[in-house]
Structure 1
């Protein structure tokens, strides 16, 4: 090897060591950055030895796609479970002590006790108090449900705005990647930022990425709607200002196509938006329907059949212990929010609790008999009477009101239990896919430090080569003297 060739080899080695050290240092500096993919300086053979030809970024397209899918499913499941947990807390938590079924059972028991001792005013007051508790439970749960729907609607609005922002940033980074790839410049930092944005987008809406020429990405939702293709598609949503049982929320549109809500406890929702739509449009309205059906049954059970006009032989059902206000008919949506106890039996409002025994709208106890219990026995029997309920309530369509009310708790607990199990499974899957992806892309400090030691040895060898060339040149100059 000539001296000039030796010097070129040493210079090339120094250059390579410098570039490789810079890459390793950048890796070490970003070891704790989850959005950073490890870089590696790739060497190729040249006339003067090896030379760094490119900085390669660690990646695995298959694992990335699986990770995006896992993020979407986990985010959707967690969002649904959060809503179901809120619904459970509306009724008192683990023991459901604030559920309508709890108060209905208490009302039934005390009503039967009053029927056995119809002359006890204190028992009448107790039954009225129990009825107020039932109405308050139905009212409070209904209002809490509509608040949950309103919060879900606001969360959807926030998610849509965030999604549009992320898509705008995604376009910026995607353009950098395309232009850099076409011109041959380093686009690794832009790729990191684009992948980070992609994971954030997938938590909001299920997304599939398709790689095209010059590393260009096109994005599609889980149902195939174009989300991004050269430019971001517009995601639109009109929030509601207030929610009642009669108010329906507006859909979320991606490029004019509505996002479908998730379904089931093990929800099909991918991303938070679909799960929020499921809570707002499916789960909460179904539960509200159950509360309304209980209210309809209560009003019917305690209604009084009064001859109108007297002596006509025509009997009309009139409100008894329970009535309502604010909506047109007993079958209107949202009855659970407005059902109340008839003021005529509430002592604090100038009423008389004993009217429950004798009749609120007409006197059934004509002889003012202290042992009169005909109405009370009829009310108690009503709790054991089989009724027909709306199929949309998603519970058995026939049964007693107590069976229906406990079935409502069972329905919620069943879907929440399924959501909890599915949430654990999807979280575990996400953990495994993230771990597999990080095994490929994450920085290992041990590997980087070992590489720096190798580079140190390479630098020492190059330094010795330069020193040897220096000695030889000095010897030649001295000999030429």
Structure 2
């Protein structure tokens, strides 16, 4: 090897070492950045020796797809769990102390005590007070369920706005990558940005990607809806200004097609959008139906009938009444009845009523009285009310709790239904979060930065630098000796 070849080799080695050191330094500075993929300098052999040809970005498409799938599934399941936990909190949390089942049991017990001592006016007042608390509990729960639907609707609007914004940013990154690929420039930073946006999008809606020529990327949902294909596809949603039991929420449209809500406590939805739709359109309405059926059952059980020898008057709401002012049809859901159920003013002392009408009947007039003589020891009507709590009633299948049950049994089943779904959602959330964590960890291990590895490479570069420096020093000594000899 001539001296000129030796010096060229040393200079090339120093240049490569400098470039590699710069790449490693950048890797180390981004070691804690989850959206940064490790870079490595790739050498190639030329007539002048080895030189850095390009800076390569670590990638693993298989693990990335699994990570995106895990992110979408975990986001959907956690959102569903949060929604179900909110519905649970409406009834006082884990003990359900403010649930219709608890209030119904308390009212039944007070009514039983009143039936033992029907002459006690204080017991009549206590029974009426418990009835008022039960009616208010149903009203409050109904309002809270609709508020949960409204909150989910507002979150859907925020998710849609964020999704459209992310798709707009994705277009900028994707266009930069396509242009950079055509020009042969370094696009590693843009690839990091595009991948980061893809991860954020997967938290809102499921994503499936297709890479096309020029590094162009198209995004679809797992249901086949187009999110991005050269340009963002419109994601549209019209939020509602409020909710009631009779109002249905608007759908989310992606490229003109409706996004379906998730199904089941271990939801098949992916991304927060489908879970919010599931809470708004499935779980909250079903719980509202259950509240309405409990309220309808109360109005029916405590309804008054014409006591005449030849009855001609229709049955009328008794202790409990509602905005409709009639006794609802048996087994047919009356949407919104829980929101308007109240205790009849005829038995409220505060409104000039007589609490003893609960014992005697006649809330709707003398024709409906079962104790026209107002005997203080009369308890048949109260006993009948107490027993009616356990008599099977027909319920609408829209409540998802079966067609026949007692009033107390139905209220207890409602709590069981909510708790079962929340428990299943909680277990599924743990599993899916573990899957998300493992897939994300595996992807980061494959493409992220390891400080130990980078420091080891720095030590190797240090030795390479020392070798190049020694070679230059040796060439310098030879040249000095040559010049001195000349």
TM-score range, shorter chain: over 0.9
Please name the residue that 1:196 is paired with.
196
The answer on whether the counterparts of 2:173 and 2:190 sit within 8 Å (CA) in structure 1 is: yes
Task: Give, in whole Å, the separation in 2 of the partners of 1:368 and 1:111.
Answer: 18
- Does 2:385 align with 1:379? yes
| Long gaps (5+) in structure 2 | none
Report the Cα offset of residue 312 of structure 1.
5.5
Identify which range, 380-389 or 273-282, moves more after superposition.
Answer: 380-389
Please name the residue that 1:114 is paired with.
114
Please name the residue that 2:371 is paired with.
365
Identify which range, 70-79 or 434-443, moves more after superposition.
Answer: 434-443
Per-residue CA distance 1:261-293 (angstroms, 9 max, x = gap):
001110111000000000000000000000000
Identify which range, 107-116 or 407-416, moves more after superposition.
Answer: 107-116
Report the Cα offset of residue 374 of structure 1.
2.5
Please name the residue that 2:265 is paired with.
265
Report the Cα offset of residue 329 of structure 1.
8.1
What is the aligned-residue RMSD (CA, Å)? 1.4
Alignment counterpart, residue 425 of structure 2, candidates 403, 419, 428: 419
- Does 2:441 align with 1:435? yes
Please name the residue that 1:2 is paired with.
2
1:424 aligned counterpart, secondary structure = helix
Please name the residue that 2:228 is paired with.
228
Please name the residue that 2:405 is paired with.
399
Matches within 5 A, 1:245-394: 245-306=245-306, 313-325=311-323, 330=328, 332-359=334-361, 360-361=363-364, 362=366, 363-394=369-400
TM-score, normalisation: structure 1: 0.97
Matches within 5 A, 1:86-105: 86-105=86-105
Task: Give, in whole Å, the separation in 2 of the partners of 1:435 and 1:337.
Answer: 48
The answer on whether the counterparts of 1:327 and 1:335 sit within 8 Å (CA) in structure 2 is: no
Alignment counterpart, residue 463 of structure 2, candidates 450, 457, 469: 457
Please name the residue that 1:237 is paired with.
237
Report the Cα offset of residue 381 of structure 1.
2.0
Please name the residue that 1:53 is paired with.
53
Please name the residue that 2:475 is paired with.
469
Task: Give, in whole Å, the separation in 2 of the partners of 1:195 and 1:326.
Answer: 56
Report the Cα offset of residue 94 of structure 1.
1.0
Task: Give, in whole Å, the separation in 2 of the partners of 1:329 and 1:43.
Answer: 86
1:286 aligned counterpart, secondary structure = helix
**Cα distance change, pair 328–322 in 1 and its aligned pair in 2 (3 A):** closer
The answer on whether the counterparts of 2:35 and 2:196 sit within 8 Å (CA) in structure 1 is: yes
The answer on whether the counterparts of 1:358 and 1:364 sit within 8 Å (CA) in structure 2 is: yes
**Cα distance change, pair 192–327 in 1 and its aligned pair in 2 (3 A):** farther
Task: Give, in whole Å, the separation in 1 of the partners of 2:25 and 2:153.
Answer: 47
| Long gaps (5+) in structure 1 | none
Aligned pairs, how many? 478
Task: Give, in whole Å, the separation in 1 of the partners of 2:466 and 2:325.
Answer: 88
Task: Give, in whole Å, the separation in 2 of the partners of 1:167 and 1:39.
Answer: 26
Per-residue CA distance 1:418-448 (angstroms, 9 max, x = gap):
0000000001111110111111111111111
Runs of 4+ in 1 over 4 A off after TM superposition: 326-331
Task: Give, in whole Å, the separation in 2 of the partners of 1:383 and 1:471.
Answer: 107
Per-residue CA distance 1:215-263 (angstroms, 9 max, x = gap):
2111001101111011110000000001111111100000001100001
Per-residue CA distance 1:150-173 (angstroms, 9 max, x = gap):
000000000000000000000111
TM-score, normalisation: structure 2: 0.96
